[in-house]
Amino acid sequence: MIDDAGSSCLIVTGMPGAGKSTVTRLIADRLSRSALLDGYFISTLVVGGHVWALGEPADEAARQVDLCNRNLCALANNFSDAGFTPVIDTVVPDRRQLDFFLSLLPARQVLFVVLSPGIEACRYRNAHRDPRERFDFDGYEALDATMRREFGDAGWWFDTAALTPEQTADRIIREALRRALTG
């Protein structure tokens, strides 16, 4: 089981609609000492000059993604040092960004879970969200292919299509230490 001593850092990723936000909230709620770190929220701390991850200009979008990821890792390290298990909810699209996280979390046992219910399930879930939570995205095939090619062997690719969010969270808590190690 994931411990509550802050020695592990859990990163949950997946495509829009995979269930990251719901599942990470449930995981954080079930651990006695946890901190939920939402990549989307951290990225919106930039107000003036904000460029979203796939926006233009591309070099500024990439710079802001790196800033968001640095801030997620700094918060994760701070919470972990204080005895809380960081639970990070973010899209990690490729190996470069995964390696960036790992380089900034060197003293942590990083557990990496890719929620993978399938492209059609992600599209359906995203389309049926509250409009304020919907993420307009049409790159499912490309993102899935990149993620599988770049880090298909890293962590735990978890097919959650037949599971409820509660079942998914419970299994991650029980099995991540065994299945989601990054190195």
pTM of the model: 0.94
Residue 169 phi/psi, 5-degree rounding, is: -60, -45
Report which of 86, 107, 113 is spatially closest to residue 3, judged by C-alpha positions. 86
pLDDT in tens, 9-34: 999 999 988 999 999 999 999 999 99
Does the pLDDT of residue 54 top 70, yes or no?
Answer: yes
